[in-house]
Amino acid sequence: MTRPSDSPVDEESCHRILRALDILGVRWTGPILLAGARGARRFKEYRALVPGISDPQLTLRLKQLQSRGLMERTVVPSTPVQITYALTPDAEELISALQPLSHWSERNLPTRSEA
């Protein structure tokens, strides 16, 4: 079966990866987190950076991310009240952990506009 001990195949690693995928595997959550990483803060900015998402879904996913501790909602009491959604440090770590996916993607999904 060839299972080298450095691969992420052991039970514990698998379960932990699965737990992370429980978050990232939910529709829109990945793109929303990436939008946050790219500087989105306000509702309409997320909507602009996550093409195709609908208002109800954005509302719902932002709430879920808050309850998972990955997004922080802040009400700024400016002249018209502003509401900002910022990634928590946890979420930023999560996005850092996605870095290898970028390299994998570069090697394995060069379909168009690449090399």
Partner DNA sequence: CTGGTCACTTCTCCAAAGTAAGTAACTTCG
Partner DNA sequence: CGAAGTTACTTACTTTGGAGAAGTGACCAG
Nearest to 82 by CA among 36, 41, 32: 41
Site for its own copies in 50-79 (CB under 8 A): 69
User: Among its own copies, DNA, none, what binds residue 42 when CB lies within 5 to 8 Å by partner kind?
Assistant: DNA
User: Among its own copies, DNA, none, what binds residue 79 when CB lies within 5 to 8 Å by partner kind?
Assistant: DNA
Contact call for residue 17 and its own copies (CB under 8 A): yes
User: Among its own copies, DNA, none, what binds residue 14 when CB lies within 5 to 8 Å by partner kind?
Assistant: its own copies
Which residue is listed with tokens 């946050």?
36
Site for its own copies in 30-49 (CB under 8 A): 30-31, 34, 37-39
User: Among DNA, its own copies, none, what binds residue 43 when CB lies within 5 to 8 Å by partner kind?
Assistant: DNA
Longest distance between any two alpha carbons in the chain, whole Å: 64
Residues linked to residue 82 through DSSP beta bridges, in sequence order? 76
For 37-68, b where at least 16 C-beta lie within 10 A, e where not — what string?
Answer: beebbebebbbebbeebeeeebeebbebbeee
Residues linked to residue 76 through DSSP beta bridges, in sequence order? 82
Contact call for residue 94 and its own copies (CB under 8 A): yes
Binding site for its own copies (CB under 8 A): 1, 3, 7-9, 11-14, 16-21, 24-27, 29-31, 34, 37-39, 69, 90, 92-109
